[in-house]
């Protein structure tokens, strides 16, 4: 970690001199010399850090030396941040003056909540402030010089420093591929489907026992997702347990998985047990309790009692590292003792990852060394995946040999054998990625990690430096770092968005243990148990990151008097209601403050003094009604999250001062945005509803659609809400938004909830042309007579297109949409006026329409009668047209007047696998009978479901009951 921090500090030190010139602010005398000394000392230390970080695992004196270095480096980072904040404050003042604001108004607004030195007036305060910084730099330099001199005592090996470019790897599904475990899966599935129960137990417990990293969770997932298992159980529930075994939280997870609102139940164990008892009554369920450590029979019995109310045949899978847990649960005959993977399967898993993107000759050359490396796996699949991820970055035979010969294999003080390959992979990371990985320990075990949130957290901690590639954004760099960690198997259990991009992940509990081992003095997770209202932290700690779990309802439950260097405070499953003024003033170094999903009613004005704050998450605090005006003094704030704060109606008026703000998230609420936000030209995420130019659409002083004109850095998703009666000038106003210039915008939703003439709505839609990079578009409530805007054909990268409630148009023009070559999903919903779907002009040349379309859905189109299409076998056409050659799923729902299907389904859809027809009386009747006129068009489709009944499955006709 120190190596990455020092590289950032060197970059910041260099910028001080640059800023002096650029911003015309003078440093105090001799500070330039001190900065030069600091730079020299840091560079001298940087040259030995690689060796020092590897030796600290077995040499306590080296670890102490590194700890002292981290302390000085962290303090220096704060000092430099104070300096940069002063520069930023001057820039804001300059902008305010240029905007015509009076000087005294500017000072009042900008200086209200900057650190103490800023409260003083005039140039004198600034001179004093800079002298304070100069003195701090001098003091820290003396301490750093001592540390630099001490390095001579350790005989460190010198390493040439340099920057390493991280190649963005394309992530693939192989990270979750399994090898072996076929017999074990069959055994487990057999136990789950078995009706045998000689001892009359209900539910039957099936423990899976094995050491960490051996694949217990993976085996459970294979069985849990087996199609026969899915069909056999009414409910399937997965609960990550870990240590401690908390009956209340387990009961909550079970109840939540069964669809019950957890918040509607009093926070009482008995109440939740009663709810579990009632919810599973008479139901055959499968419950997985993953990673159980508890050996207390009394706790297990309390949890088991309400579970006995399920139907006969209910099963519980328990994964554990302890044989004692299996015995305690009284299931010796059902226990599966998971054995080590064979060398052959370990090799297959390792090679599948390590040999990605290599030619056959390379693989053959590296195979002998690879097989020796695989012997180090000791039959553990987690180790095989980790080493495979490490070796896929090693290009030469020598690099492979170096890994095989590494001294890390000889360590005997590492806490677990599996930590050795993890250390190898960890040391192979670049310094910045090491820091990013270690920061993940602020998430509790088994927690689902949102990739977007994680990258914003890394950014708030200064872990995404632009020093290597200034052309990339911090989000781009974060994406590269994340993909690097994915390839190396530090993450698992991925969830993808509709385009196949990783959206969420988890860490294996062994990886979490490993990171805790490395960061045990810097990161702490505090769990409140059994009625505890307050916990005291140890004095003189060096905590940098604090995670709080299960805090009871009431004020913030910790005193942070002894935590002077905290950079992160984050809460999970807490019910904090208030933050005191004294608490806020203790957080002077905090950069990341995550208070989401609490019961906070008010944010104190003092939050404005947290000038280091980069990330503030207040989402899902449903009692929060307003944010203080002082929030606008957080000039370094990069991310603000207020999603699902249902009572929050507006943001402070001076939000335009937050010139560092890049990500504003406010999903799930109607939020009034101040017009000053239009000044934030660097804003990248605007997850809010932007209102259009309609009469009665809201406060005219708020942010309007036309105010987006200069926000060309917007990325991700944008929702535009047009309400009220659109003015005659609405189109010219909407055109000012210049959506076509926003090349990073990928997802756009346009809502037309207005009472306007059709021609006005058409004109507005036609000027809201997005950039050709757009990947998904949803148009809702649109009242134009022509469904497609005039820019449709420009969307060459569009993958998903959805029309909802577009109720004036009477025709769906497939020929226009068919030329969208990247389109994979097309949906029409609740379009009550369309009578015909087809082509508005004949095609006299060879063309493939919808070349990549995979999913097509028509829903709630009650007057649709005709699906017309160009006949590709028309004798007058010398070049036949091809329709939807990759279509895999066709859904037709609620289209009661549709009589026939197009002929091209029979001839040109070889990949069509699924047809779903529902609430379509005429069409359903003609398709259900194999002799009906429509059957010949669809008989080749393997899976057909009509009126919620399977008619054909896997190509086999299913006889229907009379």
> Is 90 exceeded by the pLDDT of residue 392?
no
Strand ranges for 591-655 from DSSP E: 592-594, 615-617, 639-641
On average, the pLDDT of the chain sits at 83
Higher pLDDT, 422 or 243: 422
> Is 80 exceeded by the pLDDT of residue 929?
no
Contact 824, 854 (CB under 8 A): yes
% of the chain at pLDDT higher than 90: 31
Composition of the chain by helix, strand, coil, percent to 5: 40, 15, 45
What would the pLDDT profile of 267-284 be if each residue is shown by its tens digit? 677 888 888 888 888 889
Highest mean pLDDT among 153-162, 664-673, 723-732: 664-673
Crossing angle of the two packed helices 431-439 and 509-518, in degrees rounded to 10: 110
Rounded Cα distance between 33 and 301, Å, is: 70
What would the pLDDT profile of 37-56 be if each residue is shown by its tens digit? 888 888 888 888 888 888 88
Collapse the DSSP code of 578 into the 3-class scheme (helix H, G, I; strand E, B; otherwise coil) and give the result. Answer: strand
Q: Residue range 580-601: average pLDDT?
A: 93
What would the pLDDT profile of 879-921 be if each residue is shown by its tens digit? 446 888 899 999 999 999 998 898 888 777 888 999 999 999 9
Q: For residue 174, what pLDDT band results from cuts at 50, 70 and 90? A: very low
Q: Residue range 710-727: average pLDDT?
A: 88
For residue 25, the model assigns a pLDDT of 46
Rounded Cα distance between 636 and 904, Å, is: 58
Q: Which of 27-36, 268-277, 499-508, 557-566 has the lowest mean pLDDT?
A: 27-36
For residue 106, the model assigns a pLDDT of 39
Contact 893, 858 (CB under 8 A): yes
Q: Residue range 656-677: average pLDDT?
A: 91
CA-to-CA dists, residue 74 to 199, 431, 622, angstroms:
62, 16, 35
Q: For residue 308, what pLDDT band results from cuts at 50, 70 and 90? A: confident
> Is 50 exceeded by the pLDDT of residue 652?
yes
What would the pLDDT profile of 457-491 be if each residue is shown by its tens digit? 999 999 887 655 566 788 989 999 999 898 888 89
What would the pLDDT profile of 85-128 be if each residue is shown by its tens digit? 877 877 777 777 776 544 344 344 333 333 444 334 455 556 66
For residue 456, the model assigns a pLDDT of 96
Q: For residue 870, what pLDDT band results from cuts at 50, 70 and 90? A: low
Q: Residue range 371-376: average pLDDT?
A: 87
Dihedral sign, Cα of residue 762, residue 765, residue 766, residue 767: positive
Nearest CA among 791, 785, 787, 723 for reference residue 755: 723
What would the pLDDT profile of 737-785 be if each residue is shown by its tens digit? 999 999 999 999 999 988 788 889 999 999 999 999 999 999 999 988 8
Rounded Cα distance between 100 and 417, Å, is: 66
pTM of the model as a whole: 0.81
Contact 112, 99 (CB under 8 A): no
Rounded Cα distance between 642 and 627, Å, is: 10
What would the pLDDT profile of 321-370 be if each residue is shown by its tens digit? 888 888 888 777 788 888 888 888 889 889 888 888 888 888 888 989 99
Q: Which of 331-335, 414-418, 904-908, 939-943 has the lowest mean pLDDT?
A: 414-418
Q: Tell me, letter by letter, the H, E, C secondary structure of 833-868.
A: CCCEEECCCCCCCCCEECCCCCEEEEECCCCCCEEC
Contact 260, 279 (CB under 8 A): yes
Collapse the DSSP code of 185 into the 3-class scheme (helix H, G, I; strand E, B; otherwise coil) and give the result. Answer: helix
Rounded Cα distance between 586 and 582, Å, is: 7
Q: For residue 700, what pLDDT band results from cuts at 50, 70 and 90? A: low
Rounded Cα distance between 441 and 479, Å, is: 19
Q: For residue 545, what pLDDT band results from cuts at 50, 70 and 90? A: very high
What would the pLDDT profile of 818-854 be if each residue is shown by its tens digit? 889 999 999 999 999 999 998 755 555 667 889 999 9
Q: Which of 481-490, 567-576, 688-697 has the lowest mean pLDDT?
A: 688-697
Q: For residue 626, what pLDDT band results from cuts at 50, 70 and 90? A: very high
Contact 270, 220 (CB under 8 A): no
> Is 90 exceeded by the pLDDT of residue 521?
no
CA-to-CA dists, residue 13 to 2, 541, 635, angstroms:
16, 28, 20
Higher pLDDT, 289 or 16: 289
> Is 60 exceeded by the pLDDT of residue 169?
no
For residue 424, the model assigns a pLDDT of 82
Q: Which of 589-598, 678-687, 696-705, 849-858 has the lowest mean pLDDT?
A: 696-705
- Cβ neighbourhood burial of 703 (10 Å; 0-12, 13-18, 19+): buried
For residue 105, the model assigns a pLDDT of 44
């Amino acid at each position: 970690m120190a190596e990455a921090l020092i590289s950032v500090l060197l970059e910041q030190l260099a910028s001080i001199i640059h800023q002096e010139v650029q911003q015309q602010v003078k440093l105090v005398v001799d500070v330039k010399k001190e900065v030069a000394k600091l730079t020299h000392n840091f560079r001298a230390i940087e040259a030995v850090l690689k060796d020092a970080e590897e030796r600290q695992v077995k040499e306590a004196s080296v670890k102490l030396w590194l700890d002292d270095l981290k302390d000085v480096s962290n303090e220096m980072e704060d000092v430099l941040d104070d300096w940069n904040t002063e520069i930023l404050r001057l820039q804001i003042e300059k902008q305010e003056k240029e905007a015509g604001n009076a000087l005294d108004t500017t000072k009042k607004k900008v200086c209200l909540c900057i650190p103490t030195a800023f409260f003083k007036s005039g140039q004198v305060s600034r001179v004093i402030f800079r002298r304070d910084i100069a003195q701090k730099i001098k003091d820290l330099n003396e301490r750093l010089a001592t540390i630099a001199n001490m390095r001579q005592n350790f005989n460190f090996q010198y390493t040439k420093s340099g920057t390493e470019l991280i190649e963005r790897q394309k992530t693939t599904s192989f990270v979750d591929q399994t090898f072996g475990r076929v017999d074990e899966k069959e055994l487990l599935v057999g136990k789950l489907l078995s009706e045998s129960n000689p001892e009359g137990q209900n539910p039957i417990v099936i423990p899976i026992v094995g050491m960490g990293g051996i694949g217990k969770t993976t085996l459970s997932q294979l069985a849990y997702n087996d199609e026969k298992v899915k069909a056999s159980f009414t409910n399937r529930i997965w609960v990550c347990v870990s240590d401690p075994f908390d009956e209340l939280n387990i009961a909550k997870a079970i109840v939540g998985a069964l669809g019950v609102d957890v918040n509607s139940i009093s926070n009482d164990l008995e109440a939740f047990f009663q709810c579990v008892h009632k919810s599973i009554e008479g139901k055959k369920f499968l419950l997985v309790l993953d990673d159980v450590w508890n050996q207390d029979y009394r706790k297990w019995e309390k949890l088991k009692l309400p579970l006995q109310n399920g139907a006969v045949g209910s099963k519980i899978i328990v994964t554990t590292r302890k044989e004692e847990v299996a015995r305690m649960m009284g299931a010796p005959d059902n226990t599966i003792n998971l054995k080590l993977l064979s060398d052959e399967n370990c090799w297959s898993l390792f090679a599948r990852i390590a040999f990605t993107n290599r030619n056959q000759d390379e693989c053959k050359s590296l195979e002998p060394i690879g097989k020796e490396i695989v012997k180090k796996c000791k039959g553990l699949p987690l180790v095989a995946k980790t080493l495979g991820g490490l070796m896929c970055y090693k290009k030469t035979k020598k690099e492979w040999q170096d890994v095989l010969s590494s001294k890390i294999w000889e360590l005997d003080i590492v806490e677990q054998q599996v930590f050795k390959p993890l250390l190898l992979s960890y040391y192979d990371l670049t310094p910045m990625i090491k820091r990013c990985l270690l920061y993940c320990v602020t998430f509790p075990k088994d927690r689902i990690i949102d990739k977007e949130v994680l990258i914003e957290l890394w950014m708030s901690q200064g872990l995404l430096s632009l020093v290597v590639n200034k052309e990339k954004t911090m989000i781009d760099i974060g994406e590269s770092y994340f993909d690097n960690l994915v390839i190396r198997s530090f993450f698992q259990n991925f969830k993808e968005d509709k385009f196949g991009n990783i959206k969420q992940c988890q860490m294996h509990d062994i990886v979490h243990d490993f990171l805790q081992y490395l960061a045990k003095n810097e990161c702490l997770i505090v769990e409140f148990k059994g009625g505890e209202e307050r916990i005291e932290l140890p004095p003189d700690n060096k905590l940098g990151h604090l995670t709080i779990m299960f805090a009871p309802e009431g004020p913030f439950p910790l005193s942070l008097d002894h935590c002077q260097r905290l950079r992160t405070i984050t809460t999970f499953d807490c019910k904090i209601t208030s933050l005191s003024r004294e608490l806020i003033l203790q957080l002077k170094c905090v950069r990341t403050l995550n208070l989401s999903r609490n019961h906070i009613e008010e944010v104190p004005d003092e939050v404005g003094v947290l000038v280091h704050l980069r990330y503030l998450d207040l989402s899902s605090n449903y009692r929060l009604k307003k944010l203080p005006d002082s929030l606008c003094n957080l000039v370094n704030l990069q991310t603000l999250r207020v999603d699902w704060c249902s009572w929050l109606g507006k943001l402070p008026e001076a939000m335009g001062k937050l010139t560092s703000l890049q990500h504003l998230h406010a999903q799930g609420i109607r939020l009034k945005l101040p017009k000053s936000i239009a000044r934030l030209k660097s804003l990248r995420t605007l997850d809010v509803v932007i209102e259009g130019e309609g009469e009665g659409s809201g406060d005219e002083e708020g942010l309007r659609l036309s105010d987006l004109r200069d926000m060309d850095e917007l990325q991700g998703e944008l929702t535009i809400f047009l309400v009220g009666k659109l003015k005659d000038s609405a189109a010219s106003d909407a055109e000012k938004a210049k959506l076509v210039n926003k090349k990073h915008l990928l997802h756009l939703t346009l809502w037309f909830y207005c009472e306007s003439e059709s021609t006005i709505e058409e004109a507005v839609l036609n000027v809201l042309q997005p950039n050709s990079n757009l990947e998904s578009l949803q148009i809702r409530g649109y009242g134009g007579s022509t469904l497609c805007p005039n820019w449709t054909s420009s969307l060459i990268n569009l993958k998903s297109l959805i029309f909802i409630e577009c109720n004036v148009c009477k025709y769906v023009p497939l020929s226009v949409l068919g030329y969208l070559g990247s389109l994979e999903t097309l949906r029409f919903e609740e379009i009550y006026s369309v009578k015909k779907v087809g082509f508005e002009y004949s095609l006299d040349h060879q063309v493939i329409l919808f070349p990549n379309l995979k999913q097509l859905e028509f829903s709630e189109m009650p007057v649709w009668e005709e699906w017309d299409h160009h006949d590709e076998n028309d004798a007058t056409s010398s070049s036949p047209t091809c329709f939807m050659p990759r279509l895999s799923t066709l859904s037709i729902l609620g289209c009661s007047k549709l009589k026939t299907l197009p002929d091209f389904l029979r001839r040109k859809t070889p990949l069509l696998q699924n047809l779903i027809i529902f609430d379509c009386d005429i069409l359903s009747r003609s398709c259900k009978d194999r002799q009906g006129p429509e059957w010949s068009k669809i008989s080749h489709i393997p899976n057909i479901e009509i009126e919620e009944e399977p008619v054909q499955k896997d190509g086999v006709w299913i006889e229907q009951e009379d």
